[in-house]
Amino acid sequence: MLVGCAIPPVSSTEMTQLPREATSSNPQIIVTVTPVKPPAEVSFTWVGDMTFGTKGNGPKAGPGSLFDGIRKYLASDVTMGNLETVIGTVTPDKCPKDAKPGTCYMFVAPPETAQALKDAGFTVVNTANNHSLDAGMAGVKSTQAALKAAGVLWTGRPGQITYVKAQGLEVAVLGYAPYSNVSNALNISEMKELVKKAGKKADLVVVIMHLGAEGGDKQHVKPGTERAFNENRGDPIAFSHAAIDAGADLVVGSGPHVLRGMQWYKGRLIAYSLANFTGYGTLGCGGILSNSGILRVTLGEKGDFVDGNLTPVLLKSPCTPTFDSTGQSITMMNSLSKADFKGQGAVTMDKTGKIAPPA
């Protein structure tokens, strides 16, 4: 008779000593070894604001050339960035004709920008920001058509949840900005409900926020509402904490155009701003505005932090990302995190940019 029993796996030597034939006095032992499936892990890359020239004024070598010095650092299961521009041949019409210089900006990147993003490894881009309607709804449709043709996903439209398959897991990505024509970050209660909805289907939930005041003197994160250009630019701390309370596993930000600190909240990582990433002929990139970075975070299937690092980036004229061997951005973000979140989950990194896990 055959007897099945659960015993520890035997070595190849032991297997050779088993009887060739089973008898009633010496039954054959059948050993079944089930491979243990390792827990799934998903890596995420996040960069900040991206533009690629405007009004036909882009890099002669094409928009993809802006990634040439930094492309290898973008690879991950889900690579994300904030698309701070319209894509297509549409005419920008956001600014009044009598607008004073420096008070209103409009960005339209060439159609080939979408394929450049795909070739650089981008999985999904956030379109919830103050430039997504620079050419009205025609620009929204043009941008989405270009991204779809290139195979790049987007998020940020009102009520939108974008789902991505990665390492066998379902990942939900939601983008927010403080405007009613996109997923509105000012409506925190509505955001929480959408995050909860995403969590019912997805294994991991990532929330992107385009929030906060702008400029070289706006690196510090403070409680309360921030303003820029006479607009309510939201409360980044209240928003990100509420997102995590609702089930988000990672919150990443852009908007201030400068680096900001990072914080642990309930074991989840918040990166308040990764500054500019590409800004050819559009964004300011001098002085402190030239410091940028590439954030890479790996999460377990339950949202737990596995590892992470910041690749330091320096934007060189005309606002093109390059690797910064001096690590200025690492030093800067460590200092900002300590100043703003000491005793409240300040994130720390070593000199290579490796992120220490939450305490």
In this prediction, residue 160 has a pLDDT band, given cuts at 50, 70 and 90, of very high
Cα 315 to Cα 141: distance, rounded to the nearest angstrom: 30
Strand partners of residue 155: 126
CB 331 within 8 A of CB 319: no
Ramachandran bin of 56, using left for φ above 0, alpha for ψ from -120 to 50, beta for the remaining angles: left
* Domain residue extents for the chain: 41-341
Q: What are phi and psi for residue 58, nearest 5 degrees?
A: -125, 175
175-195 pLDDT, tens per residue?
A: 999 999 999 999 999 999 999
Rounded to two decimals, the pTM is 0.90
320-353 pLDDT, tens per residue?
A: 999 999 999 999 999 999 999 999 999 999 999 9
Query: Could you give the percent of the chain with pLDDT greater than 90?
Result: 82
Cα 45 to Cα 72: distance, rounded to the nearest angstrom: 12
Coil, helix or strand at residue 230: coil
Cα 175 to Cα 167: distance, rounded to the nearest angstrom: 22
pLDDT of 102: 77
Per CATH, which fold does 41-341 belong to? Purple Acid Phosphatase; chain A, domain 2 (3.60.21)
DSSP-derived secondary structure letter, 354 = B
Cα 162 to Cα 174: distance, rounded to the nearest angstrom: 6
pLDDT at 24 over 60: no
Average pLDDT of the residues of the chain? 92
Q: Do β-strands 78-83 and 124-126 pair in parallel, antiparallel, or remain unpaired?
A: parallel
